Structure 1
Amino acid sequence: MFEPFSTTGIGSMPHTEVLSACELILKYFDIPFWPQMPKYSQNEQMITQFCEGLPGITLSSGKVYIKRDEELITEWLSNYHEDIFSPISKEYAIGLYRITELINGKKLKIFKGQITGPVTFTLSLKDEEGKIIYFDETLRELALMHLKAKAKWQIDFLKNFAEKIIIFIDEPILQAVGTSAYISVEQSEAIRLIKELVSFIKSLGVRVGIHCCGRTDWKEILSIDIDVLSFDAFSFFDFFKIYRDEIAEFITKNGYIAWGFIPTTDDLNALSDEEIVEQAVRKIEEISKILPSITQNSIITPSCGMGSLDILSSERVCKLLKKLKIKLTNE
């Protein structure tokens, strides 16, 4: 499916100049992706970006929430079917449009899109009373259907520019499920929501990945019918390798691990290029002694999105990925 140690990104970029972000992606990444640009517009924040078109959604003074309108919600739910799509406009994803303009006229072999996952989305978005919508069953299901419609539109759009599409479902909040912060969130329900979105996306004929930048129950995630598991391997490699049996089974089903070896935190400034690359190489060597076939099923990425970095640091991350690939493939 992918060449060993192909490079891709998680999504967010720190730029306010759209063309620069797109050119950087097309220059450095084997699997290009469209840039999410939270510093360019508040509409490109992780939750807000996929709220457009959600019944009752309200943006006011930089805040986004659902203003509950029972009639509107009931009408939307009654009209929903899985062929419905919900466009993402330029006002919410300028990078999506700019990068596809740059590649227009030719078809890439593969292109990566992304969408905020249903658990993170519903545990982050609130109604007008400040209540988290996850805990309202109707709004939870509404959000899941809405994200399906967003995914369908995005996939149909991207198919114009690439032979194959992969969509990463971004679920950073999974690391907190089961902790005291979200003690009332049942793991089984969180997994159900993700499974439904994964199944829907795969039914559209594209590959699916899940990205979580923290620690979570990888046994549960690896059991979902995904093609790629993406995580922060810089910080959580030792925790992840505990699941060697589950990883081995995942690989036998042609699953890929996207190793987030290049840090996008303060660790980036604390270490030299050589230290970062050598740490990653040692980790791959260690895991490949246990699971020799894993090198054929590995992608390399930043540990998370680069949106919080400055531009020079994001450029360094891109160059480090290229250096690491050269080291791992002996190019």
Structure 2
Amino acid sequence: MKNDFRPAGFPAWIGSLPMDDHEKAAELMFEYTPDIPLWVQLPKFAAEGMVAQFSKGMPGLTRQNDKIFVDSADERFDDALLGFYEAYMEVTEGGGDIAESRFAIHEDDAPGFYVFMRELDRGRCSPAAVKGQVTGPFTFGTGLVDKEGRAAFYNEHIRDAAVKLIAMKARWQVNQLKKYGLPVILFLDEPALAGFGSSAFISVSRAEIDACFSEVIEAVHAEGGLAGVHVCANAEWPVILESDADIVSFDAYSYFDKFILYADAIRSFLNEGRILAWGIVPTGDTEAIASETPESLYSLWQDQAERIEALGFERDQVIAQSLITPSCGTGSLSLENAMRVIDMNRQVSEKIRGSR
């Protein structure tokens, strides 16, 4: 999908903060990334975990104590699965309103989303785009388990429902956010994809990954959104670069040398007008967070940008098709370190934009 949105080096976030107050988190977000604001996830709340936050609506979903799983052995599962597909078909083929469907994300599951919407309704800022996020289908499918603890991804029927659920949760967000008349970016957060190709997922095929991505990205595109895929470690980058994703979000700080190995795929990706989200500010190493500065990170980005330019691009084009982000979310950091990350992210973006 060729898109006309040019982020021009604006700063953006991956999505999480180490806080327990959604209103205060939104205040920080609007202060540090007003050009591409987003709703903030607070992983201090168990309900905002990567599987839990988007699991409601899954057929057979069962909660016991602090665990959630799909009980496909329950005698009611077949009826629940049928009801799920009927609701899915009503939205995708029957003209049903996704806003009123079982796929809606409710405020008790994502308070940050509703705080974000209220602030946008108030005209809090004049952004270039707005951003949402959802757990990607591979990470969701390998994190959600059945009653025996087996990942849902390995059960073809449960996997299909899980992928469709994530696709509809993504589509619902774009449907809600597009009312502001701005480009809507929807990131699929895929930390588990770093394990694809390893012994941990040896039985998972590239075709299965491609099919999952295609279905969710198609749902985002159906509502007019831009789909991004975020991986916070190294990955089999052609899986993403050769997908229909509009944005590839990668850890440029730690893994650029691995990423640039796929020069032909990167060249094709950028030639199609798509976007790189450079995770240039470290989040996984507290010593690096303390020692790096906006100046050192800007210098690092310049060196990396030159290697992208060597593929046949002008600097202005590289900047036009770039977002500047932390390498991952900051929800697992101390608040002090998280603040340093988001401040450096803003300053690096300012330096890049000022260099044009």
Shared fold (TM-score greater than 0.5)? yes
Structure-2 residue corresponding to 1:67: 71
SS class of match (2:58): coil
Structure-2 residue corresponding to 1:25: 29
Offset of 1:110 from its aligned partner?
Answer: 1.4
Question: Which residue, 267, 277, 282 being the options, matches 1:248?
Answer: 267
One-letter code of the match for 1:90? Answer: E
Q: Does 1:104 align with 2:128?
A: no
Question: Which residue, 314, 325, 332 being the options, matches 1:301?
Answer: 325
Task: Report 1:43-62 matches (<5 A).
Answer: 43-62=47-66
Taking the aligned partners of 1:324 and 1:239, their CA distance within structure 2 comes to: 22
Taking the aligned partners of 2:219 and 2:354, their CA distance within structure 1 comes to: 38
Structure-1 residue corresponding to 2:88: 80
Offset of 1:108 from its aligned partner?
Answer: 4.2
SS class of match (1:181): helix
Taking the aligned partners of 2:219 and 2:308, their CA distance within structure 1 comes to: 32
Q: Check conservation: 1:228, 1:256, Cα contact below 8 A.
A: yes
Change beyond 3 A, Cα 1:3–1:139: closer
Structure-2 residue corresponding to 1:94: 111
Taking the aligned partners of 2:175 and 2:237, their CA distance within structure 1 comes to: 30
Question: Which residue, 37, 43, 47 being the options, matches 1:38?
Answer: 43
Task: Report 1:139-150 matches (<5 A).
Answer: 139-150=158-169
SS class of match (1:163): coil
One-letter code of the match for 2:334? Answer: D
Structure-1 residue corresponding to 2:17: 13
Structure-1 residue corresponding to 2:300: 279
> What 5-or-longer segments of structure 1 have no aligned partner?
none
Taking the aligned partners of 1:108 and 1:47, their CA distance within structure 2 comes to: 30
One-letter code of the match for 1:326? Answer: E
**C-alpha distance after superposition, 1:214-252 (max 9, x if no partner):** 222212311112211101111100011111221111111
Change beyond 3 A, Cα 1:61–1:280: farther
Offset of 1:78 from its aligned partner?
Answer: 4.0
One-letter code of the match for 1:5? Answer: G
**C-alpha distance after superposition, 1:49-85 (max 9, x if no partner):** 1001212212332222112222211332244312554
One-letter code of the match for 1:272? Answer: E
One-letter code of the match for 2:82? Answer: T
Q: Does 1:179 align with 2:187?
A: no
One-letter code of the match for 2:41? Answer: Q
**C-alpha distance after superposition, 1:255-285 (max 9, x if no partner):** 0100000011124435231433432333223
SS class of match (1:7): coil
Taking the aligned partners of 1:238 and 1:185, their CA distance within structure 2 comes to: 26
Task: Report 1:192-203 matches (<5 A).
Answer: 192-203=211-222
Q: Check conservation: 2:233, 2:251, Cα contact below 8 A.
A: yes
Offset of 1:162 from its aligned partner?
Answer: 4.8
Taking the aligned partners of 1:110 and 1:3, their CA distance within structure 2 comes to: 8
Q: TM-score, normalised by structure 1?
A: 0.94
Q: Check conservation: 2:174, 2:224, Cα contact below 8 A.
A: no
Offset of 1:190 from its aligned partner?
Answer: 1.0
Structure-2 residue corresponding to 1:321: 345
Taking the aligned partners of 2:297 and 2:187, their CA distance within structure 1 comes to: 25
Offset of 1:201 from its aligned partner?
Answer: 1.2
One-letter code of the match for 2:237? Answer: W
Taking the aligned partners of 1:326 and 1:152, their CA distance within structure 2 comes to: 32
Taking the aligned partners of 1:326 and 1:150, their CA distance within structure 2 comes to: 33
Aligned-pair Cα RMSD in Å: 1.8
Change beyond 3 A, Cα 1:80–1:103: closer
SS class of match (1:122): helix
